[in-house]
Amino acid sequence: EDKVVQSPLSLVVHEGDTVTLNCSYEVTNFRSLLWYKQEKKAPTFLFMLTSSGIEKKSGRLSSILDKKELFSILNITATQTGDSAIYLCAVEAGGGADGLTFGKGTHLIIQP
Amino acid sequence: ETGVTQTPRHLVMGMTNKKSLKCEQHLGHNAMYWYKQSAKKPLELMFVYNFKEQTENNSVPSRFSPECPNSSHLFLHLHTLQPEDSALYLCASSQDRGRAPLHFGNGTRLTVT
């Protein structure tokens, strides 16, 4: 059974700090790993990673995948209160599997 | 606006009621999904449709009944639910089955009393 484990489950930091969120996975026939941000309702797509060692970057957010060690990290630099959200990690399996397998998420709170 | 619209946003129903959740996607995608999000649990895949055909039913109880009349619309019919079914129900779509990323709607917050 495919499995995604995120850590920490919750994190409180001050504005301006840098945070690193972790995601480890076990999946048969790995295809991709995805990060989502969920503020109120709809998870919004951040990154999709398929290759090891290639950093994806969008503004203050970046992410990298290690397919050998089966994990990914999401970095947020110079955090702002608007970064407060639940960050979800999910994996996509190939071989005809449908949908994504999600972790429980990291609840990030940025204090002013 | 996310491109995937769900109604209603909130729903309170008794255990003997029958109600339906609606999802519409405006992205031209071929695959649509229902997920359940409960407190402190990962999102759980419930159903997958590809070109209106159901391709996955993830051991969901029969009190949940999906319907996909076309590639843009997806329904979840609810009847005789239990209090533990209270959760956020999220609809998503993707270009094709098994093709991430998925794009999510805002969800329906369901409370079963």
Alpha-carbon distance A32 to nearest alpha carbon in chain B (angstroms): 8
Residues of A in contact with B53 (CB under 8 A): none
Task: Mark yes or no for CB contact A42/B106 under 8 Å.
Answer: yes
For the stretch A1-49, pLDDT in tens is 889 999 999 999 999 999 999 999 999 889 999 999 999 888 999 999 9
State how far the Cα of B88 lies from the Cα of B106, in Å rounded to an integer: 9
Write out pLDDT tens, residues A74-92: 999 999 999 999 999 999 9
User: Which residue of B43, B56, B109 is the best one to mutate when testing the A interface, meaning the one whose CB has the most A CBs within 10 A?
Assistant: B43
Question: Least CA distance to B57: which residue of chain A?
Answer: A98
Quick check: B55 and B66 in contact, CB under 8 A? no
Shortest CA distance from B95: residue in chain A: A99
Identify which of A32, A40, A11 has the alpha carbon closest to the alpha carbon of residue A101: A32
